[in-house]
Amino acid sequence: MADYNSGPVILTGMVLSSSPVSDYDRRIVILTKERGKITAFAKGARRQGSRLLACTDQFCFGNFKMFEGRTAYNLVEASITNYFEDLRQDFDSACLGMYFLEFADYYTRENNDEMKMLKLLYQSMRALCKSSLDNRLVRVIYEMKAMVVNGEFPGIPAQSSLSDAARYTIGFIVDTPVEKLFTFAVSDSVLTELAGLSKEYIDKFIDRKFKSLEIFDSMGVV
């Protein structure tokens, strides 16, 4: 339960997951700039007309006003700056976006500095909304950069047969700031190389199956 003797805090972040609690409440997980991944409860959020109804959906990015309790927060108000409506309206992009949220949920921790991961997540969602970008490439960039941010990307294998173009692209992903990542395109052959290496590393370093990824991959997109 929240301690209302202390004042509210305002945290900036994105809703990673949202699930029903009791008859009308919601439990949400938010990746925040200030306090890493947190859990919050939104009382009455599932009631028709609730001011917390829309702002507790997945993908919502903005400022969340809440009271801090011992093990969770109580959300009382939110100012959403991006609902990512374009992403929600495209099934393929929405599935991939949900995978990005699951991936971020796996990697991030409470009271940890997750600024870089939040920034990567936000920019990746923006990239999914752009029809000019290939979602397959957005996925590879997100996966590789997330592993870089979390210190688990081992680089290019010493005996790798990757092409020079693929090697250059990987170096660009590793070294480039998040804001400038989604600014290029590659050939299908290079994309195949990148996707193969990313999958190899994910299978090796991540011990979790993502439900949204299974749906996405079942569509045969990558």
Q: What pLDDT, in 10s, does the model give residues 75-92?
A: 999 999 999 999 999 988
Give per-residue pLDDT as tens, 118-128.
999 999 999 99
Find the CATH number of the domain harbouring 168. Answer: 1.20.1440
The answer to the question of residue 65 being in a domain is yes
The answer to the question of residue 144 being in a domain is yes
> Are 57 and 145 part of one and the same domain?
no
**Which range (44-58, 128-142, 148-162) has the least confidence?**
148-162
| DSSP symbol at 69 | B
> Are 103 and 193 part of one and the same domain?
yes
Mean pLDDT of 202-217: 81
The answer to the question of residue 171 being in a domain is yes
Q: How many independent structural domains does the chain possess?
A: 2
CA angle 78, 11, 49 (to 5 degrees): 15
Name the pLDDT band for 220 (thresholds 50, 70, 90).
Answer: low
What whole-number distance in Å separates Cα of residue 24 and Cα of residue 46? 5
pLDDT for res 159: 77
> Are 95 and 184 part of one and the same domain?
yes
pLDDT for res 3: 45
> Are 64 and 89 part of one and the same domain?
no
> Are 203 and 101 part of one and the same domain?
yes
The answer to the question of residue 1 being in a domain is no
- Fill in the amino acid letter for 195: A
> Are 54 and 100 part of one and the same domain?
no
The answer to the question of residue 2 being in a domain is no
Mean pLDDT of 17-27: 95
> Are 121 and 159 part of one and the same domain?
yes
Q: What are the residues facing 19 on neighbouring strands?
A: 27
Residue 1 has pLDDT above 50, yes or no: no
Q: What is the largest CA-CA distance in the chain?
A: 61
Of the candidates 58, 82, 106, which is a domain's last residue? 82
- Residues 6 or more apart whose Cβ sits within 8 Å of residue 126: 182
Contact 60, 83 (CB under 8 A): yes
Of the candidates 82, 99, 125, which is a domain's last residue? 82
pTM (two decimals): 0.91
In 2-152, which residue ranges form alpha helices assigned H by DSSP?
Answer: 85-88, 91-107, 115-128, 135-149
For the chain, helix (H) and strand (E) counts, in that order, are 7, 5
> Are 148 and 89 part of one and the same domain?
yes
pLDDT for res 73: 96
> Are 65 and 98 part of one and the same domain?
no
Residue 60 has pLDDT above 60, yes or no: yes
The answer to the question of residue 3 being in a domain is no
> Are 94 and 21 part of one and the same domain?
no
Find the CATH number of the domain harbouring 31. Answer: 2.40.50.140
Residue 114 has pLDDT above 60, yes or no: yes
Domain around 93: 85-218
Give per-residue pLDDT as tens, 163-209.
999 999 999 999 999 999 999 999 999 999 999 999 999 999 888 88
> Are 99 and 73 part of one and the same domain?
no
Size (the chain), residues: 222
At residue 181, the 3 state secondary structure works out as coil
